[in-house]
């Protein structure tokens, strides 16, 4: 009996923390906003709205990268100067924010779990290249 409970517990933990695509349903998702901070890692926090981009290309790119759940939530928020690139999408199930900069993660809404983005440096470089920034 203990073995079955242990096995079920391991399956639940694996499912909660297993990597998943940043955007699971590329065709059902839409970009709401993209902002770029040209003063990233400096003491300024200006953001520029990016409006000229290939939406399908960016969503496909985000679908190729993965993220995994952390034990943290977004309860403490973040400082805008720590974010170089922010992409907000509508996944069809609600909004999702993808933040790339000092700490690379996504979240669905304030207080929900943060998802750490794997290989974030390459993702950020690919996105910036696609937007010609």
Distance (Å, whole) CA 47 – CA 85? 9
Residue 86 falls within a domain, yes or no? yes
Residue 4 falls within a domain, yes or no? no
Non-local (6+) Cβ contacts of 64 within 8 A are 21
DSSP 62-104: HHHSEEEEEEEESTT---GGGEEEEEEEE-SSSEEEEEEESS-
Structural domain range at position 124: 20-130
This prediction has a pTM of: 0.84
105, burial (CB in 10 Å: exposed 0-12, middle 13-18, buried 19+): buried
Tens of pLDDT along the chain (133 residues) come to 766 775 555 555 555 567 999 999 999 999 999 999 998 877 777 889 999 999 999 999 999 999 999 887 764 566 677 889 999 999 998 999 999 998 899 998 777 788 999 999 999 999 999 998 8
Domain count within the chain: 1
Q: In terms of DSSP bridges, do strands 20-21 and 66-73 run parallel, antiparallel, or are they unpaired?
A: antiparallel
Residue 2 falls within a domain, yes or no? no
């Amino acid at each position: 009996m203990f073995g079955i409970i242990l096995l079920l517990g391991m399956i639940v933990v694996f499912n909660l923390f297993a990597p998943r695509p940043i955007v699971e349903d590329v065709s059902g998702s839409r970009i709401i906003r993209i902002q770029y901070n040209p003063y990233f890692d400096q003491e300024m926090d200006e953001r520029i709205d990016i409006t000229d981009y290939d939406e399908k290309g960016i969503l496909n790119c985000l679908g190729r990268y993965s993220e995994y759940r952390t034990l943290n939530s977004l309860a403490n928020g973040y400082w805008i100067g720590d974010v170089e690139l922010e992409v907000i999408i509508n996944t069809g199930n609600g909004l999702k924010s993808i933040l790339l900069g000092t700490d690379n993660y996504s979240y669905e809404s304030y207080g929900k779990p943060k998802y750490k983005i794997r290989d974030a440096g390459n993702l950020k470089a690919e996105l910036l290249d696609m937007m010609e920034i």
